[in-house]
Amino acid sequence: MPMVSLAQKSAIQHEGSACLGCSDDRIPLGSHICWFYRSPAEREAVIFPFLKAGIETQEHCHYMLEEPEHHWLKTGLQRHGVDVAAVISSGQLSISDPAGLYGSEEEFDLGKNSRIWDEIYTDSHSDSYKMLRLVKDMSWMARLMLKEEMLLEYEIGLNYHLRKKQGLAICQYDLTKFKGDIVLDILKVHPIIIWGGMAVRNPFYVEPVVLQAQNAKH
């Protein structure tokens, strides 16, 4: 099935959408986006413009990635013209370490997922930002070696939250860490993917309620 760009599929109005950043594509609010990359350069070409676009339009930006990479994020945004100290000080940019939120494999609890995202959204709205723009680096999931079903439930939960709260999120997956069948399953839970620098509708996407019913049969 061919990939279809959002612009080709339908004319998306500026109201109820947000700029992707790495391209001129505007993404409907509530969208859950998947981004597969193989190299640091590929990763940076999408993530830094995505965050910068949110900062420039007065959105609350939150990045979840492991603590050793926080310095990489800050220096990269600085190179892209973002006053990192100012946006962190104001609370417009927040960074969290998934290990601090979810703990170890033994401590991991999907029930915490809903509470964590509710808290992030509450902080965003209490500070009167236009919307919440999220980036999640999923490498920590590969390190925890969680069961495939748990990863899918985690991602399905974010689908529900984004639709309810009308945020925008990119889940980034390093293809050197996620391979084979798990990549196909990851595609099923993201309605939009970034392909060739464009946001495209994902032909492999399965609605959460359908996917949960399919998983329950296995």
**What pTM did the predictor assign?**
0.86
- When divided into structural domains, the chain yields a total of 1
CATH of the domain at 123: 3.40.50.300
Q: How far apart are CA 92 and CA 82, in angstroms?
A: 12
> Which two tokens mark 55?
């900062």
**CB of 154 within 8 A of CB of 113?**
yes
pLDDT at 93 over 80: yes
Residues of the domain holding 153: 18-217
Residue 64 lies in a domain: yes
> Which two tokens mark 18?
């947000």
**CB of 189 within 8 A of CB of 169?**
no
Residue 50 lies in a domain: yes
Residues 6+ apart with CB under 8 A from 28: 6, 12, 16, 17
More confident: 155 or 193: 193
Residue 142 lies in a domain: yes
Residue 121 lies in a domain: yes
b/e map 166-176, b = 16+ CB within 10 Å: ebbbbbbbbee
> Which two tokens mark 215?
């998983």
Residue 150 has a pLDDT of: 78
pLDDT at 2 over 70: no
Residue 62 has a pLDDT of: 94
Kindly indicate the confidence band of residue 101, based on its pLDDT and cuts at 50, 70 and 90: confident
Pairing of strands 198-201, 192-195: antiparallel
Pairing of strands 168-174, 93-96: unpaired
Residue 6 has a pLDDT of: 57
Residue 188 lies in a domain: yes
Kindly indicate the confidence band of residue 94, based on its pLDDT and cuts at 50, 70 and 90: very high
Mean pLDDT of 208-218: 72
Classified as helix, coil or strand, 197 is coil
Mean pLDDT of 206-213: 80
pLDDT tens readout for residues 47-75:
999 999 999 999 999 999 999 999 999 99
Residue 24 lies in a domain: yes
Nearest alpha carbon to residue 155 among 34, 60, 50: 34
Residue 11 lies in a domain: no
Residue 109 lies in a domain: yes
